[in-house]
Structures are given as structure tokens and as C-alpha cells.
Amino acid sequence: MGSGTESIWQLLAVASPFAKFVLFILGVMSLLSWTIILDKVVLWRRVREANKGFADYNWLNFEPRHLFAEARRHGRAFAAHAYLQAHRDLFDRGVPEDLSGELVARAYSREATNYLLRAERWLPFLATCSAAAPFLGLLGTVWGIISAFQRIGIWGSASIAVVAPGIAEALVATALGLFVAIPALIAYNFFSSWLRKEAERCEAFGDDLAYALDRHLKKSGGVKPAAKPAANPLN
């Protein structure tokens, strides 16, 4: 096995500069793809754990202080993080005079969208890799075959020693192109589907928040403006 690996590296060592360039590009794409994949896996696991405790909030027994405490406890969940950020933006300077469920929901929706956009960052690169890597691999394959035929013409022989470098270029380029494309495609589809579900979860949370807050304000007779943030009804 060791000698086989060494022979492959020896064959690639004499590969054409263009073939080495293609392999280098594929190698860089693979490294970046796996870095992005691992980063998204860590994010996915953190959010999944946070969602377990935050997704089943009982809106029928809505109480602002309790929701705020739950959001802080499960702050890695997209909905909780967006709610906490919206809460800070709205009430750092006191209670808004036009406080309503719609106002809070709009601020929450804006923060949730921004957070989801940050979570989607670099996913288009995975899509690009999944689409471009096979064609780069194919380009390397064609170039390797061309090199093999050129060597046959130069040496006047089709022996293994003559065609091996070109065939090695072709096979390694094909394998590396698939090695880059397949994980990138699987990861892109998985994380895109997951983020779509999280977006739906966030939207549902915003609707429930607006309805529950309006109902709470009606029961409490509305909220008078206050000069101090500590007087806000959501904390």
C-alpha cells in the first residue's frame, strides 16, 4: 500500500503544470468546503440543542418575564437570539409610546432575518463547489488523457511507463473533483433545508409573539411610556 501511494505521488510529480494547477484549485476548494461544513455542523448542533428547550413554549400561559427568561436560557436558538436582540433594541431607551405586538414582531422579524442571513453565509460557496468541481475534475481528466497521447506520440510507444503519468493525472483529477463536489452538494442541501425550517420556525414564533403580546397588553390595560428601561413590560 505504501509503495502504491509513493508511486502515485511520483507520477503526479512529473505531471504537467496545468494539471498541477487544476489539482491545486480542487485541493483549495476541498479545504474551504470542509472548513465551512464543520463550522455549520457546530452551529447546527448548538441550535438543535437550544431548540429542544425553547420550541415548546406555552403561549397560552404567556408572561413577558417568563418568555424573556426562557429566551436567555436558550439563547442559541435563532428565535430566542432574535427576540433578545429585538428586546434590547426596543427597550434600551425606555418603553416606546406606540408599543404593540406588531411593533415588537417587526423588530423581532428584522433581527431574525439578519441572524438567518449570517447563518447562511458561505453556503453559496458550497453550491459553487458542488457545481464547478466535477467540471474542473473533468478538465483535469481530459488534460491528462491529452498528455498521455502526446507522450505516446513523442516516445512512439504505448507502454505503461509512457502513458502512466497522463493516466494518473486524469484519474486523480476525476477522483478529487468528485471528492470536492459530493460532500459540498450533500452539505448544501442539508443546511439549506435546515435553515428553511428554522426560518419557518422563526416566522411562527413572530406571529405567536405579536398575538400573545397584544392580548397581554389588552388584559393589562395598555402600557404607559416610561423613562427608565426597567419599567418595560417585556422584562
What would the pLDDT profile of 168-200 be if each residue is shown by its tens digit? 788 888 999 999 999 999 999 999 999 999 999
What are the cell numbers at 111?
A: 433581527
What's the confidence (pLDDT) of residue 166?
75
Query: Which whole number is the average pLDDT over 138-153?
Result: 82
Sign of CA dihedral 102, 207, 84, 220: positive
What's the confidence (pLDDT) of residue 226?
33
Please determine, for residue 160, whether its predicted confidence score (pLDDT) is greater than 50: yes
Q: Which domain holds residue 226?
A: 2-54+62-231
What are the cell numbers at 8?
A: 502515485
What's the confidence (pLDDT) of residue 6?
47
What's the confidence (pLDDT) of residue 12?
66
Helix runs in the chain, H state only: 2-13, 17-54, 64-73, 78-91, 101-119, 123-155, 160-219
d(CA 189, CA 183): 10
Q: How many percent of the chain have pLDDT more than 70?
A: 82
What's the confidence (pLDDT) of residue 8?
62
What's the confidence (pLDDT) of residue 138?
92
Please determine, for residue 148, whether its predicted confidence score (pLDDT) is greater than 90: no
**Do residues 19 and 169 make contact, with C-beta atoms less than 8 angstroms apart?**
yes
* pTM of the shown model: 0.81
Which are the contacts of 134, defined by CB distance < 8 A and separation ≥ 6?
177, 178, 181
What's the confidence (pLDDT) of residue 52?
84
What's the confidence (pLDDT) of residue 41?
97
Q: How many domains does the chain have?
A: 1
d(CA 209, CA 203): 10
What's the confidence (pLDDT) of residue 227?
35
Express each pLDDT in 77-136 by its tens digit: 999 999 999 988 887 766 677 778 888 889 999 999 999 999 999 999 999 999 999 999
What's the confidence (pLDDT) of residue 57?
81
**Do residues 112 and 206 make contact, with C-beta atoms less than 8 angstroms apart?**
yes
